[in-house]
Structure 1
Amino acid sequence: MKHHDPAAKHAAAPEVRITIEPEWVLASKYEELTGTTPNAVHQRRKEGVWLDGTHCAVIARRLYVNVKEADKWIRSQVSQRQRAY
């Protein structure tokens, strides 16, 4: 007769990890990720460099950054500088 070990069943189960990559993050989290301060984000908004609803948004008095759009903007700046040389 085989002995059944319930702990062995759980030990063999694979670990499942879920990765979430949000499109919008708080400006403070964006600073952690990139080093760009919330003040720099506000300045880009003020100068019209970053557009509300595209690159950033203020919702309930909290500043958010669209990471994907911010990355696109950075890539466009890099390619413009390379063309200038």
Structure 2
Amino acid sequence: MVVLSNGQSLNKDLVCKIIENADEGILLSASKDCITVQIGTLEEMEKEIIKKMDKRLGFKKNKLAKKLGVSRTTLWKKLNEL
């Protein structure tokens, strides 16, 4: 999505409304703190998040568990489901 504005600022409410009403797709961000996932079931999206975060963190499980806010045990269970 590209947002063009004639003014010096963007209307946050309008941008949020456009995003909420968008067809299924991917939102891209230039920020390193963001990842994108395909819209799917909660389980599918969770798996994609875990895979992408694992790769981004260099496959370091302790860091991954901490970043995801779960225990290492919970992380291992989720990884075994993959």
Q: State the TM-score, normalizing by the size of structure 1.
A: 0.24
**Pair member with larger Rg:** 1
Please state which structure has a larger fraction of its residues in strand.
1
